[in-house]
Structure 1
Amino acid sequence: MNLLPVTYLASYVLSLLGNSIAGIALPLIVLQTTGSALGAGSVAAATAIPAVLAGLFMGVVIDRINRRTSSVITDLISAAAIAALPLVDMISGLTLGWFILFGVIGSLGDVPGMTAREALLPAIVRHGGISAERLMGVRESLGAVALLIGPAAAGTLIVVFDGSTVLWITAATSLLAALITMLIPRRVGAITQDDGTPAERSTDTGWSQLRAGWRALFRSRFLVAVTMVSLVSVLVLAALQGLVLPVYFTQVQEPGLLGFVLSALALGMLVGGGVYAAFGSRGPRRAWFVIGLSGTTLGIGIIALLASPWVVLAGAFVVGLASGLFGSLMGVLMIERIPESMRGRIMGTQNAMMTAAPPIGIVLAAVATEYLSVNAAAAMLLVVWGGAFVFSLFSRSLRKLDPELRGGTQVDGEQ
């Protein structure tokens, strides 16, 4: 039995679980330590820009060194940045400055770490004896499990342990993810050409390589279209989860149900990813694409009605189910369509843009809610996604998604 996919997925889940726990626990610890909501917001704001810049520029490094190595290093950076906080707390006590400092350091590992792990995917498929459809479907499902467990674990740990002690747990998950990644043979992480042969070491400057990656991204009609749709999806969902739904559940005096939205979303993703892992290689990809898009539109439409808390939860499940299908398919297409030697730069740029999108969506929804109403904000987000839905259905670059066969050899679709 080939254990390479199992090793990769175990590392992925541990890293995601650590981030999920930290995403809930860290703001609470900042609030407990500083007593200031503004302090928690300051930490988030201070780490956002370095995270975006790291995603943009660290892609060059990921395309220059062994990708297993870059994945290990980024997880170790994340582990060290988190572990430093309880250590400082033991020695001198934490202040807002310490949270910001190590938040910035940790952000240098987060987005590049995501990029490095995604850059490994084609090699895992090539060496692991697993189809891209099954790998991506299982990854989506396991990611949903981590999203289900993470917030609950964070809440439990905050109750059981005092203050920053919880962060030792999140640091341990990142460290363990790095150690498991080291079990992947080094040759699997080697930089290769699209045909799997070793790539020649580039003599270009880092800036030249970065520009080459950007040209490859923005000259591909397919990659531009997928990036645009993904950006709108992240923006809309972040605005719904981060502002519209908290306001709505507060207005209907059911704030306790807000956490169940994430659970419903994750449960849907678990089912959707599992379905794609089992059946994704069957049938035309265009059909999976349309089903995923239509399901997402239906789910967002149900949520945007804000008819009742239970209707909102049903909509969240539908969105998660469709996202499990759509996200898995997009992962397969990214494996096939992004040039192997440029994966770090292209996916780093994409991930940096995805990191910047949520705050923009939340601000837009906040303005609409403040000057109109929460229902108007939900309707606005539905219209924004509706535009992306129509664009995706009729975009020429997103019509042919199945690989073509030429002379008995499978090749990628048109870029």
Structure 2
Amino acid sequence: MSDYLIENSSFKQIRKSIVSSLVGQLGSQSFNFALGLMLLTKTGSSLSFAASQVIGPIISLLFVPLVGPTVDRLSKKQVIAVSQIVTIGGLIGYALSLRYFAFTILPPTLILIAILAVSDQFTLTAYNAGAKGLVLDDHQTKLRGLQQSAGAIGQFIAPILGAALYSVVPFTLFVMIEVSCELVTLGIALSLNFQLNSGTGEKQTGQEDLSFSAGLTFFKKQKTLISLLVLALFLNFCVGAFTIGIASVLITSLKFSATTYGFVQSAFVFGSMLSGLVISQMKASKYPLQKVWGAMIGIALCLLVFGIVPFVFEKSVLTAGLIMVTSFILAGISNLVNVPFFSWLGEHIPEQMQGRIFGLVTTFATALTPINFAIFGCLYDVKTLPTLTMNLWIFSCCSLGVLSLYVIGRVILKIDLKHVTIVD
């Protein structure tokens, strides 16, 4: 195949992947939103809702030793197809069971969430591990940037769509709508060529050690990669303070309207969407990980603004405006860390190790979310300090923590992000 045809095919696969991401995100997030509403309505228990949010990350953590090695052993397309079929089967089974569990809806719902968590883990890991063969090397950042934008669009529209559909259609029909979305993503996955990028693919010599322990041993050798992962996880952890803290400050303490809070959340989503589009149009950088240092400074400043502005200006138009603008900037800067990091992983981790490495990375990020929410939720419930004072302390500590990691990494340890190499 000529270079022109290969490049054209690479662009086609990008378009297919974006459509798949958008349909998948809209369907799954709308369904998850409606599932949460249904649980609260049927059970009247916040504990049931909390259980539905925690079980997914726990199940994902338990399946880490199985997901990575499976993705590395088998065809990426085969893994995605099987996991999508399991998802569809689980949804259909759940829809059929609703009439029999009308008054005990929690057990089948938790079982469904567990099935979806495992299948999504397989699908996401296979897509991440197969991206290098899916598109040309020069298109890796474009693919991941556009996927980030598609995810942001889904995040913005899904709650609105989920609430609207939940109020007008029976929940069984809602489940079947999600089945339709999964069928679309399955069809697109089956049409993708994960061996387009020559020199990559899914061939194994049969001599590699594809066990989870081998992947863990390989991971332990990558000191710079581990340092980057710690940085990325801590940055995402601090950004999580925004999710809990801003809601508590704006609505509970300052008594802003839900509309104002909605605008702040929308600003974050639009920042993520726009930055993904911008990153996708940028030329591939020779040193993509260098952006991490500048991004850390930017994130630290944004976190400090979240602490200082409500404390100083309290309820005012200026407070809402500054937080909205800062939310937009924070989302954009966060993408400057996440997108180059995952692009770099896809390009430099050996093909036979990608399933296990991506499995570890994504699971760490997923497992951190409920811990993140629990910690910041408890901190904002502490009544020994006024909420605005507590908010100032929390965001100041987060900002200081990011700056400390910057100093430790760049000044003390002198981590060279220009010439990061993979240790065999």
Q: TM-score normalized by structure 2?
A: 0.84
Q: Residue in 2 aligned with 1:118?
A: 128
Cα distance, 1:306 vs structure 2: 4.8
Q: 2:215 aligns with which of 196, 213, 216?
A: 213
Instruction: Note closer, same or farther for the CA distance 1:181–1:213 as it changes in structure 2 (3 Å cut).
Output: same
Instruction: Return the alpha-carbon distance in structure 2 between the equivalents of residues 142 and 392 of structure 1.
Output: 32
Cα distance, 1:227 vs structure 2: 1.2
Q: 1:16 aligns with which of 20, 25, 30?
A: 25
Task: Tell me whether 1:106 sits opposite 2:124 in the alignment.
Answer: no
Instruction: Return the alpha-carbon distance in structure 2 between the equivalents of residues 397 and 74 of structure 1.
Output: 39
Unaligned runs of 5+ in 1: 402-411
Report the identity percentage. 19
- Once the two structures are superposed, residues 60-109 of structure 1 have per-residue CA deviations (whole angstroms, 9 ceiling, x without a partner) of 11111001111222233333333433332245425111111111122111
Task: Tell me whether 1:33 sits opposite 2:50 in the alignment.
Answer: no
Residues 75 and 202 of structure 2 are in contact (CA less than 8 Å); yes or no, is this contact kept in structure 1? no
Which amino acid counterpart does residue 305 of structure 2 have in structure 1?
I
Cα distance, 1:333 vs structure 2: 0.9
Q: TM-score normalized by structure 1?
A: 0.86
Task: Tell me whether 1:309 sits opposite 2:310 in the alignment.
Answer: no
Residues 53 and 352 of structure 1 are in contact (CA less than 8 Å); yes or no, is this contact kept in structure 2? no
Which amino acid counterpart does residue 361 of structure 1 have in structure 2?
N
Q: Residue in 1 aligned with 2:418?
A: 400
Which amino acid counterpart does residue 38 of structure 2 have in structure 1?
I
Instruction: Return the alpha-carbon distance in structure 2 between the equivalents of residues 255 and 344 of structure 1.
Output: 45
Residues 25 and 155 of structure 1 are in contact (CA less than 8 Å); yes or no, is this contact kept in structure 2? yes
Residues 225 and 398 of structure 1 are in contact (CA less than 8 Å); yes or no, is this contact kept in structure 2? no
Task: Tell me whether 1:246 sits opposite 2:235 in the alignment.
Answer: no
Task: Tell me whether 1:96 sits opposite 2:106 in the alignment.
Answer: yes
| Structure 2 counterparts to residues 261-280 of structure 1, below 5 A | 261-280=264-283
Q: Residue in 2 aligned with 1:138?
A: 146
Cα distance, 1:286 vs structure 2: 5.5
Which amino acid counterpart does residue 248 of structure 1 have in structure 2?
V
Q: Residue in 2 aligned with 1:199?
A: 204
Instruction: Return the alpha-carbon distance in structure 2 between the equivalents of residues 349 and 48 of structure 1.
Output: 13
Residues 121 and 335 of structure 1 are in contact (CA less than 8 Å); yes or no, is this contact kept in structure 2? yes
Instruction: Note closer, same or farther for the CA distance 1:80–1:264 as it changes in structure 2 (3 Å cut).
Output: farther
Instruction: Return the alpha-carbon distance in structure 1 between the equivalents of residues 207 and 262 of structure 2.
Output: 48
Return 213-222 or 18-27, whichever deviates more: 18-27
Which amino acid counterpart does residue 336 of structure 2 have in structure 1?
L
Residues 260 and 313 of structure 1 are in contact (CA less than 8 Å); yes or no, is this contact kept in structure 2? yes
Instruction: Return the alpha-carbon distance in structure 2 between the equivalents of residues 306 and 24 of structure 1.
Output: 31
Which amino acid counterpart does residue 249 of structure 2 have in structure 1?
Y
Instruction: Note closer, same or farther for the CA distance 1:103–1:293 as it changes in structure 2 (3 Å cut).
Output: same
Return 69-78 or 342-351, whichever deviates more: 69-78
Cα distance, 1:187 vs structure 2: 4.7
Instruction: Note closer, same or farther for the CA distance 1:227–1:163 as it changes in structure 2 (3 Å cut).
Output: same
| Structure 2 counterparts to residues 4-403 of structure 1, below 5 A | 4-93=13-102, 95-126=105-136, 131-185=139-193, 187=195, 198-202=203-207, 204=209, 209-241=211-243, 243-249=244-250, 250-254=252-256, 256=258, 257-281=260-284, 284-285=287-288, 288-307=291-310, 308-371=319-382, 372=385, 373=387, 374-375=390-391, 376-394=393-411, 396-401=414-419
Secondary structure, aligned partner of 2:73: coil
- Once the two structures are superposed, residues 324-348 of structure 1 have per-residue CA deviations (whole angstroms, 9 ceiling, x without a partner) of 3322211221112212101111111
Which amino acid counterpart does residue 123 of structure 2 have in structure 1?
G
Unaligned runs of 5+ in 2: 1-7, 311-318
Instruction: Return the alpha-carbon distance in structure 1 between the equivalents of residues 421 and 204 of structure 2.
Output: 23
Residues 296 and 322 of structure 1 are in contact (CA less than 8 Å); yes or no, is this contact kept in structure 2? yes
Instruction: Return the alpha-carbon distance in structure 2 between the equivalents of residues 237 and 212 of structure 1.
Output: 33
Secondary structure, aligned partner of 1:82: helix
Instruction: Note closer, same or farther for the CA distance 1:255–1:104 as it changes in structure 2 (3 Å cut).
Output: farther
Instruction: Note closer, same or farther for the CA distance 1:168–1:385 as it changes in structure 2 (3 Å cut).
Output: farther
Residues 85 and 102 of structure 1 are in contact (CA less than 8 Å); yes or no, is this contact kept in structure 2? yes
Residues 213 and 342 of structure 1 are in contact (CA less than 8 Å); yes or no, is this contact kept in structure 2? yes
Q: Residue in 2 aligned with 1:406?
A: none
Instruction: Return the alpha-carbon distance in structure 2 between the equivalents of residues 356 and 72 of structure 1.
Output: 25
Which amino acid counterpart does residue 387 of structure 1 have in structure 2?
S
Deviation beyond 6 Å, 4+ runs, structure 1: none
- Once the two structures are superposed, residues 47-72 of structure 1 have per-residue CA deviations (whole angstroms, 9 ceiling, x without a partner) of 33112222342111111100111122
Cα distance, 1:40 vs structure 2: 1.0
Secondary structure, aligned partner of 2:231: helix
Q: Residue in 1 aligned with 2:314?
A: none
Instruction: Return the alpha-carbon distance in structure 2 between the equivalents of residues 174 and 362 of structure 1.
Output: 29
Q: Give the RMSD, CA atoms, in angstroms.
A: 2.7
Instruction: Note closer, same or farther for the CA distance 1:150–1:109 as it changes in structure 2 (3 Å cut).
Output: same
